A and B are shown apart, each in its own frame.
Chain A
């Protein structure tokens, strides 16, 4: 029998439906793979029973001749930013350690309703703040990839680093991610998998631990474009519980997949040719253009003049929103409480409790961003920083709107470099931020954007290409991604060391 863990979403769903194997066999195979991969530290908690129970339900439904869901029999990893009923939800933070939601996030509920099961809660950068998965309270996640001839642990990217590591290592066929400024696309690129952030509002944010609410979007991470289309279809949809949820129908992205790009124009933004970008990345970009041309598309130059300002604008807007969102962690309603002694040996007061709880519960990067956010929102600085950043954000979005008058989809690198060794970028927070330089503009503009694997660099590490589409045009992004996928023939996978 085929090794079930080598299969992706589509093959598992179709195989279960046809009766080639049972959902339970699939769940057991992946549960075993997860249990054998502790060295990756991809999971914060594992939930083998959840995966088995969901599988049994699917097998029973199939035996009874009932219709099966879009994700029937597919066990997935759930980023630990999604609230899951009865299963610890931490955002990889100490302050939420032990928090056990009494409700289920909309996106995870939709996946369970579609017949998926949960292998466990995936590690991430703390509160999704980071680009290397080194800010988790529960330890770094290691990428399954290593440089050729080296044992050095590599970054799986971030913040969805547990998701990318697990999917690349084939201990999960797919996983949820969230993307605030690149947190689906950058880890996907680092690990040779696919990931799509849909248009802002496609997936409900209800029950997702909030980071920057005007930017946060959930999306799937999987090993093929088809798998992403299937899973996104199960995750998306209007939710009255999220005030910014899009009240529009979810297209059947999977059914409409089409790699024929004749009549389509692909824009190449000239401002993305930045200093500090690896030559191998630039070469893969050229290769990507050739692939899309081969698929019938016309390649056109476009300009996104405010590109260089997108990242600094993001590092005002996102921390500002985070400082507000994270004010809820107060030691009163849920999570950690640290109540220090006050003066004279008496118990401290409420303010002491707030300050001590938050000092003990947040990691350094989270504190840094809360402080930046508090500063740029404070009296006297609000207009100079926050209002200015929001205006620049409007210009970044306008750049895209103008570019999409001349093209249908934009092709760019996902990241300026391949993955780097864990611990190698910690000197200065700024150098880490710069890794998201190509990913952040689409986030600020709320656009659908995807990373697909393109090639392997000289070190044997994967490189990704990014596609950005018009608002609501996930289909255009997926189709261009499919055209690249079918020409790139990316079959490389990490050699098992864990």
Chain B
């Protein structure tokens, strides 16, 4: 499979990365080079093989059902959470207008 400029523009839009025409033109052959190279995975017989999401067997733990079990992530950290925000206002994240 290969991608054309319109497809790359669509992907870039899905990924929320603004790209002008020149950037798209440059990206098309680069992505196609990579995609053509990964095509070889199609040769592999994967009959009966389960896709692997986790390499080392592990179980998901449940934390204790108490408020603020971990004080670092339990809440009450508004100032810390907002400390690096580019536009924090009145204790909230500031964003551009989203409703006309």
Contacts and interface: CB of A to CB of B under 8 A. Distances in A.
Interface in A436-469: 444-446
A349 B97 contact: yes
A339 interface: yes
Interface string A403-418: 0000000000000000
Contacts of A353: 95-96
Contact of B52 (A99, A349, A391): A391
Contacts of A62: none
Given A371-B12, A378-B14, A392-B46, A446 B56 contact: yes
B52 A351 contact: no
B38 to A, nearest CB: 4
B91 interface: no
Interface in B9-59: 11-19, 27, 30-31, 33-35, 37-38, 40-44, 46, 49-56, 58
B49 A394 contact: yes
Contacts, number: 177
Interface string A143-174: 00000000000000000000000000000000
B18 A359 contact: yes
Contact of A100 (B12, B16, B49, B83): B83
Given A333-B85, A337-B87, A353-B96, A388 B31 contact: no
B77 to A, nearest CB: 8
A391 B51 contact: yes
Nearest to A89: B84
A375 B11 contact: yes
B3 to A, nearest CB: 7
Contacts of A291: none
Residue picked from A336, A347, A354, most chain B C-beta under 10 Å:
A354
B61 interface: yes
A313 B18 contact: no
Interface string A242-256: 011011000000000
Interface string B52-83: 11111010110100000010110001001101
Nearest to B15: A374
A21 interface: no
A76 B32 CA distance: 42
Contacts of A367: 17, 19, 27
Given A102-B83, A394-B50, A333 B17 contact: no
A375 B18 contact: no
Contact of A312 (B1, B15, B31, B41): B41
B96 A347 contact: yes
A280 interface: no
Given A214-B53, A372-B31, A333 B44 contact: no
B17 A102 contact: no
Contacts of A358: 15-18
A389 interface: yes
A350 interface: yes
Interface string A349-378: 111111110110010000110111011001
B23 to A, nearest CB: 8
A316 interface: yes
A82 to B, nearest CB: 16
A311 B87 CA distance: 41
A201 interface: yes
A233 interface: no
A345 to B, nearest CB: 14
A107 B52 CA distance: 27
A244 B43 CA distance: 32
Nearest to B29: A428
B58 A315 contact: no
A200 B17 contact: no
Nearest to A104: B72
Residue picked from B31, B34, B72, most chain A C-beta under 10 Å:
B34
Nearest to A443: B55
A296 interface: no
Contacts of B85: 332-334
A199 interface: yes
A393 interface: yes
B55 A385 contact: no
Contacts of A336: 86
Contact of A200 (B46, B56, B95, B96): B56
Interface of B: 1, 3, 7-8, 11-19, 27, 30-31, 33-35, 37-38, 40-44, 46, 49-56, 58, 60-61, 63, 70, 72-73, 77, 80-81, 83-87, 93, 95-98
Shortest 5 CB-CB distances between A and B: which pairs? A446-B55, A390-B51, A337-B86, A334-B84, A394-B52
18 contacts: A102-B77, A240-B61, A246-B58, A306-B44, A315-B34, A327-B16, A337-B87, A348-B96, A355-B13, A359-B19, A368-B34, A371-B11, A371-B27, A375-B7, A391-B50, A393-B51, A395-B44, A446-B55
Interface of A: 98-103, 199-201, 214, 240-241, 243-244, 246-247, 306, 308-309, 312-313, 315-316, 323, 327, 330-337, 339, 347-356, 358-359, 362, 367-368, 370-372, 374-375, 378, 381, 384-385, 387-395, 397, 428-430, 444-446, 471
Given A330-B16, A471-B56, 5 more contacts: A312-B38, A351-B16, A358-B15, A372-B35, A429-B30
